[in-house]
Amino acid sequence: MSVNTTQLAELCRVSLGTVDRALRNRPGINPETRQRILEMAKLHGYKPNLVARNLKLGKTNEIGLVLHDLENEFFSELTNQVQEIAWRHNYYVQLAITRRDSARERLALEHMAERRVDGIILFPTCSGNDFSSFLRSLDRPIMTIGNKVDSSWPFVGLRDRSVISELVEGIISKGYRRLFFVGPLANKAADGNLYEIEERYAGFVETIESHHGIQQIVLSEPDYVEQLARVDFSSERSAIVCVSDIFALEILRDLRRRGLSVPGDVGLVGFDSIHALRYIVPALATVEYPIHEMASIAFSKILEKTKESLVPFIELDPVIHWGESL
C-alpha cells in the first residue's frame, strides 16, 4: 500500500536523486518538480523507511534506557523524564528492564548496541572490571546513573553521603539516640552494584561515629519489618533511616498495627519522595531525588558524546523534606 522512493521516482518519472532532493528539501531542484513529487508522495502515503535511512546514515536517533524496573516510582518518573527530553530533541527511546538480573542487563545492553542506538543511559545492576570492559566493548556512549560503575564511565548521581550526613545530623539534633539503617546491603551478588546504598550507609556510619553515644543498628535483610517488630522502642529514643520510601511505608504500616505512633514512639525517614507520600499521615520525612535534572544531564552528556574527553562525574544535591515523622 505504501510506496518507497524508488516507486515514487517511477511514478513521477524522475530519478531517485530528484525524489530525494524533493523529500528532504535539499537545494538544486526545480520548485515545480519538487511540488509535483511532494504531492505524489502525499497522495500515495509515502513514509520514509527509517530503518534504511538509519543504516545509510549510521545513526538512529535513538537512545537506550536500561534500568531495574518500573514498579518503583523513581524509575517510572525517570523514564518519563528521559522520554520527554528525548522527544524534544527528536530522539526516541528503546526501553529495557533488567529486574536486577545481571545476565539480563548484559543481554539488554548488547541488544542496544546491535540496534546501534546512539547512546545508552544505564542504571546499572552490575559492577566490577569485567562489567566495565563489557561496557567498553559495546563501543557506544554510555552514561551511568545512580549507581557508579567505574571512574572510566560518565556518571550522574546523588551526593549520597553528604545528604545522609545532613539527615543524620538533623536526626541526632532532634534528640534521637539510637538510629536504625534499613537497606538491602545484603543482596550483594558477586558483581552486584549497590553503590548508592553503600554510599548512604557510609554516610550514615561516618556521621554517627563523629558523635558520642549514638547507637547504630543496620537492617540489611529483607525481613527488616520482622526484625523491627522485635525491637522495644520505649527503652531508647529511636529513629529509622530507610534507603527508600517503600521501606519506610512498610515499616510505618507495621508500626501502626502495633499501635506505635510516629514520631511519638519512633522517628522514621524515607528516600525518593514518591508521589504516594502525599496521601500518607504523618507526612514522611524523605529526600527528594532531582530526577528531572538527572535525566537532562544524562541525556545531554550522551549527545555531547563526552565519552572521549574528560569523563564527567556529576553529583547532584537532593532536597530534604523534614515532614512530620521525625
Partner DNA sequence: CTGAAAGCGCTAACAA
Partner DNA sequence: TTGTTAGCGCTTTCAG
Contact footprint for DNA (CB under 7 A): 4-6, 13-21, 23-24, 26-31, 33, 48-49, 52-53, 55-58
Cβ proximity to DNA: between 115 and 256 the closer is 115
The strand pair at 286-288 and 142-145 is best described as unpaired
Cα gap 174→193, rounded to integer Å: 33
Cα gap 305→307, rounded to integer Å: 5
- How far does CA 68 lie from the centroid of its chain? 8
Write the single-letter amino acid at 131.
F
Answer for the pair 295, 82: CB distance below 8 angstroms, yes or no: yes
Task: Identify the residue among 279, 308, 309, 310 touching a second copy (CB under 8 A).
Answer: 279
Task: Identify the residue among 26, 30, 43, 55 touching a second copy (CB under 8 A).
Answer: 55
Q: Which does 93 bind (CB under 5 to 8 A by kind): DNA, a second copy, none?
A: a second copy
Cα gap 33→22, rounded to integer Å: 8
Q: Which stretch binds a second copy (CB under 8 A): 19-27, 112-120, 227-235, 299-307?
A: 112-120
Cβ proximity to DNA: between 33 and 94 the closer is 33
Answer for the pair 74, 274: CB distance below 8 angstroms, yes or no: yes
Q: Which does 17 bind (CB under 5 to 8 A by kind): a second copy, DNA, none?
A: DNA
**Whole-number minimum distance, CB 86 to DNA, in Å?**
20
**Is 95 among the residues that bind a second copy (CB under 8 A)?**
yes
Q: Which does 254 bind (CB under 5 to 8 A by kind): DNA, a second copy, none?
A: none
Identify any residues that bridge with 180 across adjacent strands, giving them in sequence order.
217, 240
CA distances from 312 to 86, 151, 153, 234 (A): 20, 9, 8, 48
The backbone torsions φ and ψ at residue 266, rounded to the nearest 5 degrees and listed phi first, read -155, 145
The backbone torsions φ and ψ at residue 95, rounded to the nearest 5 degrees and listed phi first, read -105, 135
**Whole-number minimum distance, CB 85 to DNA, in Å?**
24
Q: Which does 144 bind (CB under 5 to 8 A by kind): DNA, a second copy, none?
A: none
Q: Which stretch binds a second copy (CB under 8 A): 74-82, 146-154, 170-178, 298-306?
A: 74-82
Cell of 7: 516507486
**Is 264 among the residues that bind a second copy (CB under 8 A)?**
no
Whether a cis peptide bond, with omega within 30° of 0, leads into 222 is no
Residues that bind a second copy (CB under 8 A): 1-2, 45, 47-52, 54-55, 60, 69-71, 73, 76-77, 79-80, 83-84, 87, 92-97, 104, 110-111, 113-116, 137, 139, 249-250, 252-253, 256, 275-276, 278-281
